[in-house]
Structure 1
Amino acid sequence: MADTGELLKELQNEITCSICNVYFCEPVTIGCGHSFCRACLSSSWRDGAPAFTCPECKRVSQDREIPLLNRRLAELTELGKELSSKLMQSTEGQSQCVTHKKPFKLFCEEDQTTLCMTCETPEHGAHKLSPLQEAAHKYRRELQHIRSHVGKHLKEDEQLLVQEERTAMDWYWMIAEQYCQTHFFLMEEECRFLEHLKQGEKASKDRLSQHMQSLQNLMQELQEAGQQANLDLLQDAKKLLGRSKAVLDQRAKPVIPELREYPIPGLIKMLNRFRVDLTLDPRSATSCVTISENLKSAKAEAGWRLETKHPKDYAYHYVFAEQAFYSGSQYWEVDVTQVPQWILGIYTPHLKRKRVRNVNSCPSVFLLQCVKKQEYYYLQTYPGPLDHRMKGSLPRVGVYLEYSSGILGFYNVLQSSLIYKFHSIPFTDRVKPIFSPGPPLPGTKPGPMTVCPVDSHLCSCCHSSQ
């Protein structure tokens, strides 16, 4: 019986349409040898299609019309149906009711159980009963109908999968192309800014060189005039003095240059990938600097009194972050809107003893300081050469630390521009962020210096959005 069942399954596969997944109905066979129901093939071969392909093997068919009925395949289908029905009847005949020892003849729709004629009453007397073969035929039709729908959904999903793969590939290339365009744009921006810096540097050197040449010429004239006879000297003295004054007046008084802003697109967004959540260490608070309860703000108190008017002689008071870093890259932002004078930076106890670029010694702190004098704000670094002025204050400063490379950078968050960057700091020990919300300006009530939350971002329209 098992061999017969296997043979019947093979026969059923041969007489089943691969489109609707049920027995053939008016089967037709196309050029590639595959067969389908006439109605299924007709719905698959749509009118006006540029080519007719086999729904199974996808080979392009030379036929442009639905083939004639394959009578032998139709007869084989009917024979297969008959054999399947007889096999099921013979299988059903071998089953019998355990209670009454009689073959199953009925099916109870309510209880979904098979019954013999004796089981009909009284337990199932009020239930809807159907002949076993009729109930099986009914459910077989329903299952075949569902199977057909499942097959259609499967093919639709296959088509959707192919479409999704094509769409994904299109997006892949579009995104890749967009990144290439962005890289090209950034390279152009970089070249433009660097060229602008070179031109500015060249113009400044040219002006200085011209002035030096004028001074050298004047030196030569003054030397020659000193060797002239008294009469000749007196005749040219007034003119020479006037020319000397004009040359000396051309030399501008040395002034502190203004801090240049060169916005770099996407800079702050890139740095935000390394954003860390800092809190201030309450143990580092003093009578001059207090720390808020949420450990996010530091504020200068009345105990911080200025005993000198010279900024270089100010006494500074620092507080530390609770976190310390031994590796990796970190970035944090500090809101300094309410503190006109402040210091930000890092502290490390030990460094490798070697000369560092931009650093004349090996200090334990690396700082950016803002000092206000009259209407200007001055940004200075320690150690380092930065000493520039600004007309307005910075609302927020970003600090980037890269431990392995020894990089410490300070950024103008609002303008997305670099303020200053230390290179090749030889870290060997922990690094702690440090903060100083002062010294306060005389006669003013200082506000807090606040470590910004990780999800806090600055926009140019409102300066700060928390």
Structure 2
Amino acid sequence: MESDLSQAFQEELTCFICMSYLTDPVTISCGHSFCRACLHLSWEDSQVSVQCPMCREPSQQKDFRTNIVLKKLVSIARKASLMKYLSSEEHKCVTHKETKGIFCMENSIYLCRPCSDSHEHRGHRHCPIEAAAEGQLIRLIIREEMIRAKYRRCYPLPSKQEEENIECMKKEANYYLEKLRKSEAMMVQKSKQLREMYRELMAMSHEPYVVLLQDLDDIFRRSESVQLSKPLAMKPEIYALALSGLTERFN
């Protein structure tokens, strides 16, 4: 009975899209909840109407507040899973036979209480493992939002009016449109890099706390490099009469 209840509880805290624990959960108008990042990826190609990924009911809203109750319940479930892992015999300190419940911030390793007070680690920054994992998860969510915002700025969905303007510009200047296509191709490549990095960060945020405590410096360095690199801006030189809207589109 207890195991059935635990399984049912876990299913309610699982995102229908990624099938993992809800991360930064949001609830849409139909009542279903999803990870914020999963919902954004599911809806990013929709220009007009969007639907619930689960029941397909149309939704008019795209920006949501975090479901605080669900977020707390997921945190409780994640911590319970972590405590179960920490209580296993294989996780106990070989020297002191105590559970390694402390995370060393300097060396990114697990320690038991006597080890944390030893001469080797006494001067290092320590914190409970669950607190360290929560901190890493928050860092990942913040970085997800940064990458998503960068992606939307680099590659926004065109409106109907913008599409009409593009058709008009094609008729006005085929020569400059060829250069424009090359510039847009660079922007598409940039957006793909940002999208892939966003997916990687999102996937990492769904990992168990134990995985979150591993060295994340590499993925953060790569996400920084993706954000810093950008295509060169174009400055078209128009020798004939001014073409309405073309220069603004290049910029």
| TM-score, normalization by structure 2 | 0.41
Relative to total residues, which structure has the larger strand share, 1 or 2? 1
| TM-score, normalization by structure 1 | 0.25
- Determine which structure has more spread, i.e. the larger CA radius of gyration: 1
Does 1 or 2 have the higher relative contact order (CA < 8 Å, sep 6+)? 2
